[in-house]
Structure 1
Amino acid sequence: MYRCSKERMSEKIKTFSQFGDAGHGGITRYTLSPEDIQARKEFQKRMEAIGAIIEVDDVANMYATLPGSDPHAKRIVMGSHSDSVKNGGNYDGILGVLSAMEVLETVAEQNIPHKHPLTAMIWTNEEGSLYPPAMMVSGIVCYDYLPEAIRGKFQYENMLKSKSVLDSTGTFGAALEKSGYKGDKKYRLNPEQYQCMFEIHIEQGPILEDAGNDIGVVDCVLGMFNYRLRFYGQTVHAGTFPMPKRKDALFAAAQAICDLHKKIDALGYPELVYTTGEIVCHPCVHTCVPDYVDFCIDVRHEKPQVLDSVLSIVKSCAEKEWAGCRCEVERMWNRDTVYWDKTLVGYVKEAAEEAQISHQYVHSGAGHDAQFVAYMLPTTMIFVQSKGGLSHCEPEYSSPEHCAEGATVLLNAVLKADAD
C-alpha cells in the first residue's frame, strides 16, 4: 500500500489556484485562455521534471507519460480538465489533473514498479463555459464510439466553429490555433494505445459529507433528459389591459412549473433530481405583459423507467392551455445512464479498503469527460468529499486530507489495474 503526499497535494492546489484567481477565493479559467495556458505550462514543467514524456493532440489535450517496464503494454490514463466556469472554485476538474500528477510524482519518487506506461492527462474544454457545449473535446475524441443520439452534437468541424459566449467573432477553432497547443491527431486517446481510464473529481454534492465518508466509489453517471417548454401569449400594456383578458406567458409558465413539481414529487422517487435552471422571457419589459416564455427542465435518475414516467408528465403540458396560453414541448437532448467498468470500480473499492479510508458507493449526477471515454475504454471515477456539497462557485472546497486520500486511492487502484 502506497500513500500520496498531503503536503505535495496542498502545494499543487495552492499554485494552480493562482492561474485565473478571481480575487474572491476562486478562479475564472476559460479553456485555452491565458490563465489556462499558465496552468498547462506548469503541468508540463512539473511532469517533465520527473521524466514524463509530453504529447499534445490536435484538440489541445495534453498527455504526460511515465514509461513502464513492458514496452508493449498499453497505457493507463488518469486525468480531468483544467478549465473552469466563471467564478468557479479551485477543485472542480483540476483536482483530477493534480491527482494524476501526484500519482506520477509518487511513482517516480518511490520508484514504484509498474509494467504499463502511466499517463496524466488534461482534457480541453470540459466546461464549455466560453465555447459551448460542455464536454466538447471528449465528445470529439470519442465521436466514433458514442451513441447516435449523442454523436451528432460533437462533429469536429462544427465544434471548431463554436462561438465564444463573450465575443461572437471568436471561435474555438481560432482559440485553438492561437493557443500554441494544437498538436497532432495521432496522440489522441484511443483504444489501440490505452488500456483504461480513471478520473478523480470532487463530489459536487453533500452525500459523502452527510454520511461521514471521505471517498466515493462511483458506479455510474445518471441518465438524464433536457426539454424546453414554450408558452405563447399576447403582449399588451401592463397598466391598461384588463386582467381577465390577458394571456400572460410568464404566469402560464409559472403555473406549469408549479404543476410539474407537484406531479413529479408525487411519483415518490427519492433519488430523482430535476430543476428549471434557465428561463427566457419576451419582451422582458416592466410595462409589458410577456407574450413568450420558455424554460428548460433538467431531469436525472439512474433508471430509464423513472425518467420515462417523468417525461410523460412533462409532455402532457402541451395537451392544455395555461392561463390562455398555448404550450409546446421540445426535446433538447438526453443520455442513458453510463455504468463504469465493474473491474475498475472493484479496484477503487479495494484500494480504499486497504488504505482504511472511509468510502461508499455513489452515483454521479453531473456529466464528466469520463462518461464519453467509457464508450471507448474501460473507465471509472473516484469522488472526493466536497465541503457543504458546494461546487461551480468560489466557496468550493475539499480538504488537503481528503484530496491526498483521493490521490492515494487513485494510485493504488491504478497499480491494481497495472498488475492485470
Structure 2
Amino acid sequence: MYNCDVKRMDEKIKTFSTFGDAGHGGITRYSLSPEAHMARDYFVKRMEAIGATIETDDMANMYATLPGSEPGLKRIVMGSHADSVRNGGNYDGILGVIGAMEVLEAIAAENIPHRHPVTAMIWTNEEGSLYPPAMMSSGVVCYDYLPEDIAKKFKKENMLASKSVLDKTTTFGDALNASPYKGDEKNRLNPNDYMAMFELHIEQGPILEDAGKDVGVVTCVLGMFNYRIRFFGQSDHAGTTPMHKRQDALYAAAQALCYLHEEIDKLGRPELVYTTGEIVCHPNVHTVIPDMIDFSIDVRHEDPKVLEQVLAIVKSLPNKEWARCKCEVEMAWQRDTVYFDKELVQYVKESADELGASNQYINSGAGHDAQFASYMIPTTMIFVPSKEGHSHCEPEYTPVESCTEGASVMLNAVLKADKK
C-alpha cells in the first residue's frame, strides 16, 4: 500500500486558495476567469515538473499524463473541476484536481510501478456559476453517450452561446476563444483512450462526519427531478381590495408549498430530500397583490418508485383549490439514478480497508462530472468528510489529513485498476 504526502497536499491546497481569494476564507473563481487561469498555470507548473505531458481539448479541459510501462494501454484518469460558485470554499471540485495531482506526484516521487498511463484532469465549467448550465464541458464531451433527454441540453453550439450571468453579453464561446487553454477536440476524454475514471470530492454533506467515518465509498448519484410550479391570480391594489375578493397568487403558492411538505413527509422516507430554492414573484411590488408566482421543487432519491410517489403529489396540485388561483406544473429537469462501476467501487472499498481508513458506502445527492463520464467509461467517486456538512460556502473545510487520506485511497484504487 502507498500513501500520499500531507505536506505536498497542504502546499497545493493553500496555493490554490489564493487564486480568487474572496477575503473571507473562501474563493470566487469563475470558469475561464483570470483567477481560473492562474489555477491552471499552477497545475501545469507542478505537472510539468514531474515530467507529465499536458494536453487540452476544445472545451479547455486539461489532461496531465505520466506514461505507463506498457505502451498502447489505455489511460486511467482522475480529476474534477477548478471553478467555484460565487463566495465558495477551497475544497469543492479543486480537491479532486489536487488529489489527482498528488497521485501523479506520489507515483513520480516514489517511482511506483504502473502499466497504464495515469492522467490528472481539470474539467471546465462544472459549476456553471458564470456560464450556465452546470457540468457544461462533461455534458459536451460525453454528449454521444448521455440519455437523449439529458444530451439535448448539452449541444455544443448552445453551450458556446451561453451568456454571462453578470454582463449578460459575454458568451462562454467568447471566453473559450480567449483562453490560452483551448485545445483540440481530438484530445477529449474518450473510451478509445481511457479505461477508467476516479473523482475525489468532499462529501458536501454531514453523513460521514456524523457517522465518524474517514472515507465515503460512493455507489451512485441520486436520481432526481425538478419541476416548476406556477400560480396565476389577479393583480389589484393592496390597500383597496377586500380580502375575500382577492386572487393572491403568493398566498396560493404558500398554501401549496406547505401542502407539499406535509404530504411528502407522510411518505416516511428520511433519506428523501426536496427543496424549493427559487421563487419568482410578479409584479413584485409591495403595493400590488401578486398575480403570478413561479417556484421550483427539486426532489432526490435513489429509488425511482419513491420519486414517482412524490411526483404524483406534485402533479396533483392543479386539481385542488388554491385561493381561487390557477395552478400549473411543468417539468424542468429529471434524471435516473446513475450507478458507478461496481469493480471500481470495490477497488475503492478495498483500498480504504487496507489503509485502515474507516469507511462506508454512500450516495451522492449532488451532481458531478463523474456522473456524465460514467455513461462513457467505467467511473467512480471517493468522498472525504465536510466539516459540519458545509459546502458551496466560505466555511467549507476538510482537514488536510482527511484530504490526504482520500488521495491515498484513490492512489491505491488506481493501482488496483492498473493491474487489470
Determine the structure 2 residue equivalent to 1:78.
78
* Separation (CA, whole Å) in 2 of partners of 1:399 and 1:46: 22
Match of 1:107 in 2: 107
Describe the SS at the equivalent of 1:195. Answer: strand
Q: Note the 1:82-101 alignment, pairs <5 A.
A: 82-101=82-101
Query: What residue in structure 2 maps to residue 156 of structure 1?
Result: 156
Deviations 1:343-387 (A, max 9, x none): 000000000000001110000000000000000000000001100
Deviation at 1:321, TM superposition (A): 3.0
The 5 A counterparts of 1:204-283 are 204-283=204-283
Report the alpha carbon displacement of residue 166 of structure 1 after superposing the two structures with TM: 0.4
Task: For 2:210, give the aligned amino acid.
Answer: D
Match of 1:309 in 2: 309
How far the C-alpha of 1:396 sits from its partner, in A, is: 0.1
Give the match for residue 36 of structure 1: 36
Structure 1 counterpart of 2:371 = 371
Match of 2:397 in 1: 397
Q: Any idea what the Cα deviations from partners look like across 1:169-192, whole Å, max 9, x if unmatched?
A: 110000000112210000000000
CA–CA distance in structure 2, aligned partners of residues 36 and 260 of structure 1:
41
CA deviation after TM superposition for structure 1 residue 149, in Å: 1.2
Q: Using the alignment, how far apart are the partners of 2:345 and 2:76 within structure 1?
A: 15
What residue in structure 2 maps to residue 330 of structure 1? 330
1:190 corresponds in structure 2 to: 190
SS in 1 for 2:244: helix
Which letter does structure 2 place at the counterpart of 1:113? P
CA distance, structure 1, for counterparts of residue 19 and residue 361 of structure 2: 33
**Matches of 1:272 and 1:55 in 2, distance apart?**
41
Contact 1:32–1:179 under 8 Å retained in 2: yes
Query: Over residues 288-337 of structure 1, what are the superposed CA-to-partner deviations in whole Å (9 max), with x where a residue is unaligned?
Result: 11000010000000000000000000000011231111000000010000
1:77 and 1:198 in contact (8 A); partners too: yes
Deviations along 1:188-219, one digit per CA (max 9) or x if unpaired, are: 00000000100010000000000000100000
Q: Which residue of 1 aligns with 2:55?
A: 55
C-alpha separation in 2, matches of 1:411 and 1:181? 27
Distance in 1 of aligned mates of 2:357 and 2:194:
29
SS at match of 1:200: strand
Partner AA of 1:76 in structure 2: I
Instruction: State how far apart, in whole Å, the 2-side matches of 1:9 and 1:286 are.
Output: 52
Question: Is contact 1:95–1:201 with CA below 8 Å preserved after alignment?
Answer: yes
What SS is found at the alignment partner of 2:322?
coil
**Unmatched 5+ stretches in structure 1:** none
Question: 2: CA distance between counterparts of 1:74 and 1:167?
Answer: 42
| 1:177 aligned residue | 177
Structure 1 position 168, deviation (Å):
1.2
Distance 2:198 2:186 in 1: 21
Q: Distance between the aligned counterparts of 1:329 and 1:89, measured in 2? A: 35
SS at structure 2 position matched to 1:334 = strand
Instruction: Output one character per residue of 1:255-282: Cα deviation in whole Å (capped at 9) or x when no partner.
Output: 0000000000001111100010000001
> CA separation in 2, counterparts of 1:53 and 1:106?
16
For residues 67 and 397 of structure 1, the distance between their equivalents in structure 2, rounded to whole angstroms, comes to 34
Identity of aligned residues (%): 73
**Residue 329 of structure 2: SS of its match in structure 1?**
strand
Q: What's the secondary structure of 1:295's corresponding residue?
A: strand
TM-superposed CA distance for 1:395, in Å, is 0.1
CA-CA distance at 1:412 after TM superposition: 0.2
Query: Which residue is equivalent to 2:24?
Result: 24
Secondary structure of residue in 1 paired with 2:316? helix
For 2:58, what is the secondary structure of its paired residue?
coil
Q: State yes or no: 1:289 paired with 2:289.
A: yes
For 1:193, give the aligned amino acid: D
- Is 1:349 matched with 2:315? no
TM-score by length of structure 2 reads 1.00
Q: Which structure 2 residue ranges, 5 or more long, are not aligned? A: none
Paired with 1:60 and 1:322, the residues of 2 have a C-alpha distance of: 49
Residue pair 1:143, 1:151 contacting (<8 A) in 2 also: yes
Alpha-carbon offset, residue 100 of structure 1: 0.2
AA aligned to 1:307 is L
Off by >2 Å, runs of 4+ in structure 1: none
Letter in 1 for 2:277: G
The separation in 2 between residues aligned to 1:248 and 1:128, in whole angstroms, is 34
Secondary structure of residue in 2 paired with 1:44: helix
1:320/1:326 contact within 8 Å kept:
no
Q: Is the 8 Å Cα contact of residues 230 and 329 (structure 1) preserved in structure 2?
A: yes
The CA distance in 2 between the partners of 1:180 and 1:231, in whole Å, is 47
Partner of 1:2: 2
Distance 1:48 1:7 in 2: 19
- 2:47 is aligned with what amino acid? M
Q: Secondary structure at the match of 1:83?
A: coil
TM-score by length of 1: 1.00
Q: Name the CA distance, whole Å, in 2 between partners of 1:305 and 1:106.
A: 45
CA RMSD in angstroms, aligned pairs only: 0.5
- Amino acid paired to 1:126: E
Q: Is the 8 A contact 1:74 1:194 kept in 2?
A: yes
Is contact 1:4–1:404 with CA below 8 Å preserved after alignment? yes
Q: Could you tell me how far apart the structure 2 residues matched to 1:10 and 1:312 are?
A: 49
SS at match of 1:357: coil
Partner residue, 2:362:
362
Which amino acid is the alignment partner of residue 382 of structure 1?
I
Paired residue secondary structure (1:269): coil
Q: How many residues align?
A: 420
User: d(CA) in 2 for partners of 1:33 and 1:319?
Assistant: 48
Aligned counterpart, 1:116: 116
